[in-house]
Amino acid sequence: MSVFPEAWRERNLGEDFDHYIDVKKRADIALTRSDLNDVILRPSALQDDPGRGTVALGPAEIHDVITRHDVAATLAALLHEPRITRQILEVTAEDTPIPDAIHAITTI
């Protein structure tokens, strides 16, 4: 799990938040340069609402919001998809069912 690079940047949340984003970015870099078979998931702003089971998922998405439930469901599904390796994916709320969104990125 990572963070959208531009997540809430327009809000100017201060040095602590900037440090958090920097640390996440450095962790992403270290992971992608390792020999590990990784998938980095960058969710948009997390919400506590009930999950919808639908997302937008891809290498670049518009930063919006997403429920924690939908992030967890997407992450669980990604972990069971062996064709998705060594990728950085962004996820946000949208209308595509999670299994369909994952299937779509396996054909990119």
Active site residues: 20
Token pair for 68: 């924690």
Phi/psi of residue 97, nearest 5 degrees = -55, 140
Degrees to nearest 5, angle at CA 18 with 47 and 13: 60
